Amino acid sequence: MAKKIKVIIETPEKNIRLPGIGVKTAIQFVKFGLWGTRFFKDSDEELQQFLVNNKELIIEFLETLAKDLKQYDPFTLVEIQSEDSHILIKIL
């Protein structure tokens, strides 16, 4: 049963290994981020307007995704390997 998200980013300059966080907690972070976008005046205005107009749809999608993830065993969601970097997002 998938309940957590773990992110690992390895580059020559920096290695980031975030601890696994609950899917519901990750959604709360996204909600907070969506709420905070209105305070970033230097960001792309088109992107800001898109987020404002679609905030409820984004949250609804993420909540549905979280519910659906519960029925799966752990798996690798994203893995990108280049010459000098590696990005890994796992659902645990």
The DSSP line for 39-88 is G-TTS-HHHHHHHHHHHHHHHHHHHHHHHHHTTS--EEEEEEE-SS-EEE
* Res 39: pLDDT: 72
Give mean pLDDT in consecutive 10-residue pieces for the chain, a chain of 92 residues.
90 94 91 80 81 91 90 93 95 92
* Res 14: pLDDT: 94
pTM of the model: 0.73
Question: Other CB atoms closer than 10 Å to residue 92's CB: what's the count?
Answer: 15
Domain regions of the chain by residue span = 4-91
Contact status, residue 33 vs residue 19, Cβ threshold 8 Å: no
* Res 11: pLDDT: 94
